[in-house]
């Protein structure tokens, strides 16, 4: 272990680490992110270790466990450097072959390569895969290059040089000035200007001041913050220390959900190592600046990600919000000035300091600078973490990076901004994505969840999904949010189950307005957004549910029936065999019939009916035709 006591020593250490490393020595990197971990990357790592030991190759080969690469659905991911040969869905049984062929012999194993679904071409190098090639990975890029548990990996990539620059060449005021000029906006939801918040906190004449990382990340489908903290914790820590220096804080917290154990572990290791290397604690890099960080493990409530709730939780109480007549930057933890920023926001800071405000403002749009990481999930071919410059269009993200919609289905909408965001329809797919554009469209950036929906999605059902989520997550402290969400849930349930009545839409709109105007915190004020945005773009679907008792997407079970067309059924027995509740009767030569009273509307019969017959149909908004009487069900096959 090396204690570094000046910027010059940090630079020297970086050079020494690089000098010790042979750039031509094969390095096998295994993604150890949460998703790859669940698909077996640990076992893959063990298999590599065993095979290398068996062949006595430790002198010739290096193995590294890295953070999430972002293309999580293809895990476990293995990349072999220096070439960058990338293998997907690697299994322990593949390891001997990878070592003997690729590592030792530089031969590519075709079956483990990525196959481009459009061109059917196999791609060898990770950065050539369209999912990666069309991204700009300024913040997330190092995740796949370093071992998050090894501080020297981060230092070898230039890590902590921004801190050294800030502490040795800049005053706190100058750091603040650069951040303000970079015009960086918070990545956690509201897009509040970072420099302005820092300045407010700095100018409060009270001590001590706190700086805090928000890694609560409770939005369904979002996992960019945890992946960044898991995969590159030092980048977040470096940003936090720089922020503390600019604000005049000597104490910080990383608030991270207990349910993200890898993020908790890796952040803890990063804090410990940074302390040992002299990058945290007393007299950092010989500058006289002191700063310490603690981890606060969050109890896993969505509302606790809200700033005042999060700070209440840090104080040891239940993480509920309070009225914010006075902002938390002025009176936060224990009533002291507390600056809270999102994980991704903090990880941007070293880039801004190292490259300057002009470099940063050249990326993005007029009022949204830099890049943004999105969790691209739902009905899209390539799900994963995507980083693009602000202003990239939804179409580029969904098609050029996401690879389009699976099974040739039509794109219907994209939900951005988490549970408080909104749904943007197909006709607006060419909209550029930045803070202001998304707000204009009735959605928001949020922390970066992006859920893609195809033609089989019912938008009333989507609105209900988010209202159900928020109903569970509302802390219940204020009436408009607690009762408003319950009322919304009831109205939406009625609509989805065929009990919708005239006036429901107006009631939803009124409730939405009251909640927005009177709720205590932003959970309540924005809770109706999914309803409001689906009403704005998909009002006809609400009307069809209410007036015709019809679900146009055939999703709402109470409004949908499955029916086998007697003129098309070929008695192939497939649906009959697959029905999980034996609701289909028939035989080898007998036309099949769905017994409506037994059917649970799971849709299996519709899925499995061979397309050449297409005998199973979905019916909504009209009565199911009567089944033929038993004696008329004998199938007369045409002679060939």
Ligand X SMILES: Cc1cc2nc3c(=O)[nH]c(=O)nc-3n(C[C@H](O)[C@H](O)[C@H](O)COP(=O)(O)O)c2cc1C
Site of interaction with ligand X (CB under 6 A): 186-190, 192, 214, 216-218, 302-303, 305-307, 340-342, 345, 447, 521-523
Q: Which does 405 bind (CB under 5 to 8 A by kind): ligand FES, ligand X, none?
A: none
The CA–CA distances, whole Å, from 440 to 152, 444, 515 equal: 44, 8, 20
CA distance 628 to 260: 56
- Choosing from 70, 252, 332, 337, the residue that interacts with ligand FES (CB under 6 A) is 70
Exposed e or buried b per residue across 120-151, where buried means at least 16 C-beta atoms within 10 angstroms of its C-beta: eeebebbeebbbbebbebbbbbbbbbbbbebb
Nearer to ligand FES, 33 or 305 (CB): 33
71 forms part of the interface with ligand FES (CB under 6 A)? yes
- The conformation of residue 258, written as its DSSP 8-state character, comes to T
Is residue 75 at the binding interface for ligand FES, with CB under 6 A as the rule?
Answer: yes
Segment interacting with ligand FES, rule: CB under 6 A, options 30-38, 54-62, 334-342, 553-561: 30-38
Q: Are the C-beta atoms of 380 and 414 separated by less than 8 Å?
A: no
Rounded-to-integer distance, Cα 21 and Cα 24, Å: 9
* Binding site partner of 14, from ligand X, ligand FES, none, Cβ cut-off 5-8 A by kind: none
Length of the chain: 640
String of DSSP letters for 190-219: S--BHHHHHHHHHHS--S--EEEEEE---S
Q: Is residue 68 at the binding interface for ligand FES, with CB under 6 A as the rule?
A: yes
Which is nearer to ligand X, 187 or 550 (by Cβ)? 187
Which helix (H) or strand (E) is 293 found in, with range? strand 292-298
d(CA 400, CA 396): 5
HSE, side-chain direction, 13 A CA sphere, residue 99: 22
Judged by beta carbon distances under 5 to 8 A according to partner kind, the member of ligand FES, ligand X, none in contact with residue 307 is: ligand X
**Counting contacts by CB under 6 A, is residue 77 touching ligand FES?**
yes
Structural contact between residues 562 and 618, judged by C-beta atoms closer than 8 angstroms: yes
Look at residue 217 and give the partner it binds from ligand X, ligand FES, none, a contact being a CB closer than 5 to 8 Å depending on partner kind: ligand X
Q: Verify binding: residue 375, ligand FES, rule CB under 6 A.
A: no
Which listed residue (33, 252, 321, 421) binds ligand FES by CB under 6 A?
Answer: 33
Q: How far is the CB of 392 from ligand X (least distance, A)?
A: 20
Partner whose footprint covers residue 230, from ligand FES, ligand X, none (CB < 5 to 8 Å by kind): none
In angstroms, give the least distance from the CB of 401 to ligand X: 23
- Return the one option of ligand FES, ligand X, none that residue 71 interacts with (CB less than 5 to 8 A, by type): ligand FES
Least Å distance, CB 280 to ligand X, is 21
Look at residue 190 and give the partner it binds from ligand FES, ligand X, none, a contact being a CB closer than 5 to 8 Å depending on partner kind.
ligand X
Cβ of 288: how many Cβ atoms within 10 Å?
Answer: 9
72 binds ligand FES (CB under 6 A): yes
* 36 contacts ligand FES (rule: CB under 6 A): yes
Closest distance between ligand FES and the C-beta of residue 218, in Å?
Answer: 19
Task: Give the residue with the Cβ less far from ligand FES, 35 or 313.
Answer: 35
Distance CA 329, CA 427 (A): 40
Q: Does 78 bind ligand FES (CB under 6 A)?
A: no
Alpha helices in 373-503 (DSSP H): 394-395, 435-440, 459-473, 479-496
Of 81-120, binders to ligand FES (CB under 6 A) are none
Return the one option of ligand X, ligand FES, none that residue 69 interacts with (CB less than 5 to 8 A, by type): ligand FES
Name the minimum Å distance from CB 89 to ligand X: 31
Residue 337 interaction partner, one of ligand X, ligand FES, none, beta carbon < 5-8 Å per kind? none
SS3 235: helix
Binder of residue 75, out of ligand FES, ligand X, none (CB less than 5 to 8 A by kind): ligand FES
Q: What's the helix, strand, coil split of the chain in %, to 5?
A: 45, 15, 40
Q: What is the per-residue burial (b if ≥16 Cβ within 10 Å, else e) of 416-441?
A: bbbbbbbbbbeebbebbbbbbbbeeb
Task: Decide: is 35 part of the binding site for ligand FES (CB under 6 A).
Answer: yes
Nearest distance, CB of residue 231 and ligand FES, angstroms: 8
Among 64, 69, 549, 601, binds ligand FES (CB under 6 A): 69
Number of C-beta neighbours around residue 94 at 10 A: 19
Packing angle of the helix pair 172-182, 233-247 (nearest 10 deg): 120
- The two structure tokens encoding residue 105: 């012999």
Which of ligand FES, ligand X, none lies near 36, with the C-beta cut-off 5 to 8 A by kind?
Answer: ligand FES
Q: Using the rule CB under 6 A, is 28 a contact of ligand FES?
A: no
User: What residue ranges bind ligand FES (CB under 6 A)?
Assistant: 31, 33-36, 68-72, 75, 77
């Amino acid at each position: 272990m090396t204690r570094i006591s000046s910027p010059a020593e940090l630079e020297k250490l970086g050079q020494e680490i690089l000098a010790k490393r042979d750039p031509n020595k094969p390095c096998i990197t295994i993604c150890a992110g949460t998703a790859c971990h669940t698909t077996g990357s640990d076992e893959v790592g063990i298999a590599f270790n065993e095979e290398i030991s068996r062949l006595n190759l430790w002198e010739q080969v290096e193995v590294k466990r890295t953070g999430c690469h972002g293309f999580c659905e293809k895990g476990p991911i293995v990349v072999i450097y220096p070439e960058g040969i990338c293998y997907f869905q690697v299994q322990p049984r593949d390891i001997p072959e990878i070592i003997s062929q690729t590592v030792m012999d530089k031969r590519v194993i075709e079956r483990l390569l990525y196959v481009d679904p459009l061109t059917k071409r196999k791609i060898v190098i990770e950065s050539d895969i369209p999912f990666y090639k069309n991204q700009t990975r300024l913040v997330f890029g190092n995740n796949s290059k370093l071992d998050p548990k090894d501080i020297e990996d981060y230092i070898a990539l230039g890590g902590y040089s921004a801190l050294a620059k800030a502490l040795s060449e800049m005053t706190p005021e100058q750091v603040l000035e650069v951040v303000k000029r970079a015009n960086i906006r918070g990545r956690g939801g509201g897009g509040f200007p970072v420099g302005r918040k820092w300045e407010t906190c700095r100018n409060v004449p009270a001590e001590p001041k706190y700086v805090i990382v928000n890694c609560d990340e409770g939005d369904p489908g979002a996992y960019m913050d945890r992946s960044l903290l898991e995969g590159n914790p030092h980048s977040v820590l470096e940003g936090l220390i720089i922020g503390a220096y600019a604000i005049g804080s000597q104490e910080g917290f990383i608030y991270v959900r207990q349910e993200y154990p890898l993020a908790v572990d890796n952040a803890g290791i990063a804090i410990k190592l940074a302390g040992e290397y002299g990058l945290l604690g007393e007299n950092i890099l010989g500058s006289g600046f002191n700063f310490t960080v603690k981890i606060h493990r969050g109890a896993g409530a969505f509302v606790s990600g809200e700033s005042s709730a999060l700070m209440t939780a840090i104080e040891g109480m239940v993480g509920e919000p309070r009225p914010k007549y006075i902002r938390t930057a002025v009176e936060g933890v224990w009533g002291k000035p507390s600056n809270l920023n999102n994980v991704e926001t903090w990880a941007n800071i070293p880039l801004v300091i190292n490259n300057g405000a002009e470099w940063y403002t050249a990326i993005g749009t007029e009022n949204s600078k830099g890049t943004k990481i999105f969790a691209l999930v739902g009905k899209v071919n390539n799900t994963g973490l995507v980083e693009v410059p602000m202003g990239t269009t939804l179409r580029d993200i969904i098609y050029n990076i996401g690879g389009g919609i699976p099974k040739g289905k039509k794109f219907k909408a994209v939900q951005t901004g988490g549970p408080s965001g909104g749904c943007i329809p197909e006709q607006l797919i060419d909209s550029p994505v930045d803070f202001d554009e998304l707000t204009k469209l009735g959605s928001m950036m949020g922390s970066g969840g992006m859920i893609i929906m195809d033609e089989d999605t019912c938008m009333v059902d989507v609105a209900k999904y988010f209202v159900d989520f928020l109903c569970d997550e509302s802390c219940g402290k204020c009436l408009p949010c607690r009762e408003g969400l319950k009322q919304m849930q009831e109205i939406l349930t009625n609509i989805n189950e065929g009990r919708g009545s005239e006036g429901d839409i107006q009631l939803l709109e009124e409730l939405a307005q009251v909640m927005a105007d009177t709720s205590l915190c932003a959970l309540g004020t924005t809770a109706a957004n999914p309803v409001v945005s689906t009403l704005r773009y998909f009002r006809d679907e609400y009307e069809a549910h209410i007036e015709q008792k019809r679900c146009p997407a055939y999703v709402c079970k109470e409004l949908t029936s499955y029916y086998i067309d007697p003129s098309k059924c070929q008695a192939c027995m497939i649906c009959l065999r697959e029905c999980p509740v034996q609701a289909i009767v028939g035989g080898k030569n007998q036309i099949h019939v769905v017994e409506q009273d037994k059917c649970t509307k799971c849709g299996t019969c519709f899925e499995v009916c061979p397309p050449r017959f297409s005998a199973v149909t979905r019916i909504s908004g009209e009565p199911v035709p009567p089944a033929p009487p038993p004696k008329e069900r004998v199938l007369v096959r045409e002679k060939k």
